[in-house]
Amino acid sequence: MNREDPLSLPARRRQVKDRALSRFGLEVGKLVRQALIQRVSCGDVKYARKVTNSRTVIVLEYSGDEMAFIYSNATKEIVSFLGPDAPETADWRCSQSTALALFRRPPLRPEGGC
pLDDT digits 0-9 by tens, 29-53: 889 889 999 999 999 998 888 999 9
How far is the C-alpha of 13 from the C-alpha of 33, rounded, in Å? 9
Tell the burial category of 59 from Cβ atoms under 10 Å away from its Cβ (0-12, 13-18, 19+). buried
CB 5 within 8 A of CB 77: no
Residue 113 pLDDT level (bands cut at 50, 70, 90):
very low
Higher pLDDT, 27 or 34: 34
Query: For 69-76, what is the mean pLDDT?
Result: 93
pLDDT over 80 at 70, yes or no: yes
Amino acid at 40: V
| Residue 83, pLDDT score | 81
| CA distance readout (Å), 54 to 51, 68, 77, 113 | 8, 17, 11, 55
| Residue 74, pLDDT score | 93
How far is the C-alpha of 20 from the C-alpha of 29, rounded, in Å? 10
How far is the C-alpha of 102 from the C-alpha of 114, rounded, in Å? 22
pLDDT over 50 at 25, yes or no: yes
pLDDT over 70 at 107, yes or no: no
Higher pLDDT, 92 or 97: 92
| Residue 112, pLDDT score | 47
